[in-house]
Structures are given as structure tokens and as C-alpha cells.
Amino acid sequence: MISKLTLPSLVATSLLVACLGTSRSHAAVTILDFSGSQYADNFTETSNANNMTVVGGILETTTSNGSISGITVYNSPVTAQNTDNFSLKIDANFDVMPSSLGGTSVSFLTNISGGAGYLAVFRLNTTGGVSSADFRLFEGATTNGSTVGVQVGSTQTLNAAALNSVTFNSSSFYTLNLDVTVSSSTSIIFAGSILDSSNSSIVGTFASVTDSSATLGGTAVALRLGAGGNNVTTSVDNFTITPASAIPEPSTAALLGGLSVLTLAAAKRRRR
């Protein structure tokens, strides 16, 4: 009942109402861990479907010889993707850590329109106990796998020093993160990074790649899993989409911070 509320509680409640009343409508973060029917319900395979399968809640692609790339498109459009910023994340593992930067990779396709979009490719490798990684961006990549398109900018590379001397290994998952920023009607920026999936600490951050003559308008995203042969299995889990609108505005965050402080103060008084 209202009569039992303390003054700090009333102030905290008022702050919460003000916070909810002044903030914009924020899109939710989407996280799919491929358990149950999450994969079948939310994705459509468009290239090398026979080489992609879900095993124990993990999406995998395997090839015994040569290199293949399986592509699967997320069925739901990303709201306002052509005008807003967003990030994509996926936890990736290679059961045999590549010894060179070859066909084994994990990629995101973004801003897909008419079956083609941008392709952001992550490759990891460890040779002689020393690891490195690279990040490449292509424009005009197709969802049916017929072409990767034309590379935009240069290949961004992280050596052992830039990776904080982390050694990639086949027993661990690594979070691949792609931040997409629309800076104007014709310019779009792609920034890749690698995180430790166990604690979200940053392993390395690539220099960003910008397309200054971008053709925007697509609202679909997809995953592309590359396996470089020799029975290598590429596995992914925890596909995450975070629209920029899911991040609270500074004024909202400040109000939430004030709410937390007052609520804590009220709780301490009640315990006395």
C-alpha cells in the first residue's frame, strides 16, 4: 500500500516513472543459442545446406575435402538496419585450429537486399604456438554462395602482440563481434573484434573498414561458416543481434543510476 512506502521509496518510484516516460522505445536484444527448434524456426539455409547441422544446440559445418561455405539467413529483418547502427555476435570454435589463414572462417552477411549484401569475414589461426587473425570486408556477396563480391578496403590483421599474446586453441570458443555504423546515406563502417567467450574480455580489435559509396536499404543478416577441408568442423553458438536502440540514452542511464542508489539507501534503512 502507498501509506507504507518510505520517502526514499517514493522518490525512487517517481524516478522510475520519469525514466520510463522520457525514454524512447528501444528494440530488444536477440539471442539465439540454437537449442530445441530455435535454428529451424529462425533460419533458412541458402548454400551448402547438406553440410550444415545442429548438434547438441551447436550449429556446425564440416567437409572432408576441399573448402565449403554454408550460408544460413536469419528470417526476421533487423529493424531500421539501413538507418540505424547495430552489432552482431557469434561464439565460434574450430575443432582443428587452422595453421594458416585459409578457407576456415566465420562470417556475417549484413544489409542483404535482393540476395546480396556485405560479407564480413573472420579468420583465426595458430602456427607454432603463435596466433594471428584477420578481418576482411566484401560488398556484393550473395546468399546462395555464388560469389563473395569485391573486397572493400584492405585486410585488417592482428598479430600475437595485438592479441595480447592469447593463443587460439581448438578447445575454446571465441566471440566474434561486428559493429555496423551507418555514418551517412552513402557511408557505412564495419568494425570487427574478438572476445573471450568465457568472460567477454577483449582479445583483439581490428581497424575499421569503411565503404564510402555504400548502397543501403537491405534489412536481412546471415551467417556464413567456412570449413577448409581435412574433416575440419566449424561450430557456432549464441547468435546475438543488438540494435543501437537497445542501448539506453545517457539521460535514461543517469535516471536508472539514481534509482539504484535511492533504492539501495532505502533497503539499508529498512534493515536497521
User: Rounded distance, CA 91 to CA 73, Å?
Assistant: 17
- Count of residues making up the chain: 272
User: Rounded distance, CA 126 to CA 159, Å?
Assistant: 10
User: Rounded distance, CA 235 to CA 134, Å?
Assistant: 18
Q: Please list the pLDDT of the chain residue by residue as tens digits (272 residues).
A: 434 444 444 344 444 334 434 333 346 899 999 999 999 999 999 998 778 899 999 999 876 556 678 899 999 887 654 556 899 999 999 998 988 888 889 999 998 888 899 999 999 999 999 999 999 999 999 999 999 999 999 999 999 999 988 999 999 999 999 999 988 878 999 999 999 998 899 999 999 999 998 877 677 899 999 887 667 889 999 999 998 766 555 444 454 455 444 433 443 343 34
pLDDT, position 102: 84
pLDDT, position 227: 81
Q: What angle do CA 160, 134, 236 make, to 5 degrees?
A: 105
Q: Which residues are CB-neighbours of 143 under 8 A, at least 6 positions away?
A: 46, 47, 71, 73, 109, 112, 115, 116, 117, 222
pLDDT, position 240: 96
pLDDT, position 69: 82
User: Rounded distance, CA 111 to CA 119, Å?
Assistant: 9
pLDDT, position 165: 86
